[in-house]
A and B are shown apart, each in its own frame.
Chain A
Amino acid sequence: MSTPLATAPSPAARPWRQLLVIWALLLTVPLWLPLLGGYTAMAGRVLVFALAAMSFNMLLGFTGVMSFGHAAYFGLGAYGAGLCLKFVAASTPLAMLAGTLLGGIAGTLFGLLLVRRRGVYFAMVTIAFGQVCFYIAYKWDDLTGGYDGLRGFTRAPIDLGFVTLDIANNGTLFYFFVLLVFGLAVGLQALILASPFGRTLLAIRENERRARFLGLPVERHIWLSFSISCFFTALAGSLYALLNNFADPLGLNYIMSGNIVMITVMGGMRTFWGPLVGAVLFVMLQDYVSSMTTNWMFFVGMTFVLVVLFFPRGLMGMLKKKAEA
């Protein structure tokens, strides 16, 4: 390549080493995390947030469109999975399907109203849509448990016919289950981003007007990108419900949207793996701050402000810049 695009996941030698390190670390989590004083459920939380943020990053980092309401689809995924487990059938895969469909379809429909908006206006409308979902979950007591959240369901063991995976009680096994789903979803995302469609998204991000002049149906592509991003985010949400055996209305709130954005930016929004790194940082910070002080808002807010002012590229973005320099 004559002029390597700083943003494209270039198929050079380094990404393979990066992939190897990431997957080696993820696959051995139950071995080394307890030694560092962590617990496996924490790693599950990292994966769930990472999946949500990587899905969100397809939109922010790779299409150049910002949503500040992704908590809605994350939360709908969680409620969809929880309601399915509670009222329909004790089946984990079915619950995940239900959650993904609920959040994804809602996102696709909202997306129709959104695609012609740009910039801050787009963000404001996504915030408002997010609050609609929060509001419904909050008010519809009978179904959703209102303010207390949806309880009374547990993830079910997966029966593969020849063997039953007891993800309900075995935390380590559940971690590997989440990792499997994470790996499949993220692999699919990488394929989408590397496809011609993914390339047109990059073109829209870099120069929307030029993309339009080249004859790309910009609105339709943004809508598709938004929908795909919502489906994946909802999948992450359904995993979150399985992880906690609980769906929380606060998971739908704009504060959760802010967290997803923060995870993405903190890790590096123009890099594929950035949100995973961001999720590690975020979960560590969350754990540390909530155990240390009651003034968590101050510290979280401070982190936001400092990252925006001094580390806008995020950790992976900074590493990449250094490697290129």
Chain B
Amino acid sequence: MLQLVLFNLTNGLIVGAFYVLMALGLSLIINLSNVVNFAHGNFLAIGGYLAFTLTPYLGFWGALLVSPFLTAIFGYVIEKLLIRHVYARNHIYSLLLTFGLGFILQDACRFIWGPSPLPLGIPDILSLPITPDLFFVTWYRVFMVVVVIVAVGGLFAFLRYTRVGMRIRAGTLDLDTVSALGVNVAALRSYNFAVGSFLAGLAGVLAAGQIGLNPNMGDDLIMPSFIAIIVGGVGSLTGTLLGGLLIGVASALTTVVYPAGAEAVIYIIMALVLLIRPRGLLGEEGMLT
């Protein structure tokens, strides 16, 4: 029983960590550009597939480092080519645009890498369990959690201490003022989109090592990520972080007592939050609502 609880708890942490990575990227883009990126799951898949292509040349470690950067560049290009045209328009257009983009990217992955699932080789040392008792906790799982912690820490440091990061935070609060102070808002939004794509790409490489690759691997993560943002509160990255971990762990713990309800509990948490605290756990009243 203890092992079962531990197993599901670690599972929940890992799933929650993925929700966090995805949701933070989505949240960054929503906060600054007011665009809900439906294709975010497809950026995750692209990150994973790029790692698959790079692994023979760079090895797993090299791919893990390079692939998120390539995904970020890809996101930057997509933002410049497509997304920036809809900022000034009704939100419905950005939703439709990224929705269509998701379809295109998914079919593109299928076309380039084939429709069947592919494995991403991870170093042997990572596939060993940490102790014989806890045979279900491989070093890879520990590694994933560590990488996510480092990435999230890095993101918050980036937003707090770098010039671009500070501008992104300022733009989230009041884009007009930031623009009036002479900041190139168009460029800022592109960088911001690239940062979001970077996080998706990183999540893609990590996920590929655990569950392998398939063209719609991001689809299952996108909805919980939305909910993580709603639960945490739109406009607050800390809220998103909290929301992602909360629903990840809650659904894993539900698996222990009532497996069929694992997904339902996510939606129940959302409904409760909307009922009791409509702005989300850490959302500010009046922001983006």
* Residue interface mask B81-110, A partner, CB < 8 A = 1: 010011001111101110111111111101
Instruction: Name the A residues within 8 Å of B234 (CB-CB).
Output: 120-121, 124
Would you call A27 an interface residue if the criterion is a C-beta within 8 Å of the partner chain's C-beta atoms? Answer: no
Q: Assess the B104–A301 pair: CB atoms within 8 A.
A: yes
Q: Assess the B103–A297 pair: CB atoms within 8 A.
A: yes
Instruction: Name the B residues within 8 Å of A318 (CB-CB).
Output: none
* Interface footprint category on B: 35 or more
Q: Which of A120, A262, A298 contacts B107 (CB 8 A)?
A: A298
Q: Assess the B106–A119 pair: CB atoms within 8 A.
A: no
Main secondary structure, interface of A, reads helix
Would you call B223 an interface residue if the criterion is a C-beta within 8 Å of the partner chain's C-beta atoms? Answer: yes
Assembled-state Cα–Cα distance A307/B275 (Å) = 37
Interface centre among A116, A118, A128, A303 (most CB of B within 10 A): A128
- Chain B residue nearest to A310 (CB atoms) is B85
Instruction: Name the A residues within 8 Å of B90 (CB-CB).
Output: 66
State which of A13-21, A131-139, A154-162 sits at the interface with chain B.
Answer: A131-139
Assembled-state Cα–Cα distance A22/B30 (Å) = 41
Would you call A127 an interface residue if the criterion is a C-beta within 8 Å of the partner chain's C-beta atoms? Answer: yes
Q: Assess the A128–B289 pair: CB atoms within 8 A.
A: no
Instruction: Name the A residues within 8 Å of B289 (CB-CB).
Output: 116-119, 121
Q: Assess the A124–B36 pair: CB atoms within 8 A.
A: yes
Would you call B202 an interface residue if the criterion is a C-beta within 8 Å of the partner chain's C-beta atoms? Answer: no
Q: Which of A117, A131, A295 contacts B267 (CB 8 A)?
A: A131
Q: Assess the B85–A309 pair: CB atoms within 8 A.
A: yes
Instruction: Name the B residues within 8 Å of A60 (CB-CB).
Output: 92
- Chain A residue nearest to B104 (CB atoms) is A301
With A66-B91, A123-B36, A132-B267 given, is the CB distance from A113 to B275 under 8 Å?
yes
Q: Assess the A123–B91 pair: CB atoms within 8 A.
A: yes
Instruction: Name the B residues within 8 Å of A132 (CB-CB).
Output: 267
With A116-B278, A119-B91 given, is the CB distance from A139 to B270 under 8 Å?
no
Main secondary structure, interface of B, reads helix
Q: Assess the B271–A302 pair: CB atoms within 8 A.
A: no
With A295-B107, A305-B100 given, is the CB distance from A127 to B89 under 8 Å?
no
- Chain A residue nearest to B85 (CB atoms) is A309
Q: Which of B97, B105, B227 contacts A309 (CB 8 A)?
A: B97
Q: Assess the A309–B82 pair: CB atoms within 8 A.
A: yes
* Interface footprint category on A: 35 or more
Would you list which residues of chain B between 91 and 131 have a CB under 8 Å from chain A? Answer: 91-93, 95-97, 99-108, 110-111
Would you call B242 an interface residue if the criterion is a C-beta within 8 Å of the partner chain's C-beta atoms? Answer: no
Q: Assess the A308–B100 pair: CB atoms within 8 A.
A: yes
Q: Assess the B108–A298 pair: CB atoms within 8 A.
A: yes
Would you call B230 an interface residue if the criterion is a C-beta within 8 Å of the partner chain's C-beta atoms? Answer: yes
Would you call A304 an interface residue if the criterion is a C-beta within 8 Å of the partner chain's C-beta atoms? Answer: yes
Assembled-state Cα–Cα distance A295/B97 (Å) = 18
Instruction: Name the A residues within 8 Å of B35 (CB-CB).
Output: 120
With A117-B289, A118-B289, A304-B103 given, is the CB distance from A124 to B226 under 8 Å?
yes
* Residue interface mask A285-302, B partner, CB < 8 A = 1: 000000000010110111
Would you call A125 an interface residue if the criterion is a C-beta within 8 Å of the partner chain's C-beta atoms? Answer: yes
- Chain B residue nearest to A302 (CB atoms) is B104
Would you call A265 an interface residue if the criterion is a C-beta within 8 Å of the partner chain's C-beta atoms? Answer: yes
Q: Assess the A128–B260 pair: CB atoms within 8 A.
A: no
Instruction: Name the A residues within 8 Å of B264 (CB-CB).
Output: 135, 139
Q: Assess the B89–A312 pair: CB atoms within 8 A.
A: yes
Minimum CB–CB distance from A298 to chain B (whole Å) comes to 4
Q: Which of A121, A127, A131, A312 contacts B288 (CB 8 A)?
A: A121
Would you call B164 an interface residue if the criterion is a C-beta within 8 Å of the partner chain's C-beta atoms? Answer: no
Q: Assess the B103–A301 pair: CB atoms within 8 A.
A: yes
Would you call A73 an interface residue if the criterion is a C-beta within 8 Å of the partner chain's C-beta atoms? Answer: no
Would you call A68 an interface residue if the criterion is a C-beta within 8 Å of the partner chain's C-beta atoms? Answer: yes
Would you call A261 an interface residue if the criterion is a C-beta within 8 Å of the partner chain's C-beta atoms? Answer: yes
Q: Assess the B230–A300 pair: CB atoms within 8 A.
A: no
- Chain A residue nearest to B97 (CB atoms) is A308
Q: Assess the A265–B226 pair: CB atoms within 8 A.
A: no
Q: Which of A66, A116, A139, A298 contacts B92 (CB 8 A)?
A: A66
Q: Assess the B96–A128 pair: CB atoms within 8 A.
A: no
* Residue interface mask B69-89, A partner, CB < 8 A = 1: 000000000000010011001
Minimum CB–CB distance from A78 to chain B (whole Å) comes to 21
- Chain B residue nearest to A140 (CB atoms) is B260
Would you call B229 an interface residue if the criterion is a C-beta within 8 Å of the partner chain's C-beta atoms? Answer: yes
Would you call A171 an interface residue if the criterion is a C-beta within 8 Å of the partner chain's C-beta atoms? Answer: no
Assembled-state Cα–Cα distance A131/B263 (Å) = 11
Instruction: Name the B residues within 8 Å of A128 (CB-CB).
Output: 223, 226-227, 230, 267, 270
Minimum CB–CB distance from A62 to chain B (whole Å) comes to 13
Minimum CB–CB distance from A197 to chain B (whole Å) comes to 23
Enumerate 22 A-B pairs (CB-CB under 8 Å) in ascending A order. Answer: A66-B91, A66-B92, A113-B271, A113-B275, A113-B278, A118-B288, A120-B30, A120-B91, A120-B288, A123-B92, A128-B230, A139-B264, A261-B96, A262-B96, A295-B111, A298-B108, A301-B100, A301-B101, A301-B105, A305-B104, A308-B96, A309-B97
What would 11 more interface pairs be, CB under 8 Å, given A123-B92, A135-B264, A305-B104? A116-B278, A120-B34, A128-B230, A265-B93, A265-B96, A295-B110, A301-B103, A301-B107, A304-B100, A305-B82, A309-B85
Q: Could you tell me which A residues sit within 8 Å of B by CB distance?
A: 60, 66, 68, 113, 116-121, 123-125, 127-128, 131-132, 135, 139, 254, 258, 261-262, 265, 269, 295, 297-298, 300-305, 307-309, 312
- Closest CB pairs A-B (n = 4): A304-B100, A301-B103, A301-B104, A298-B107
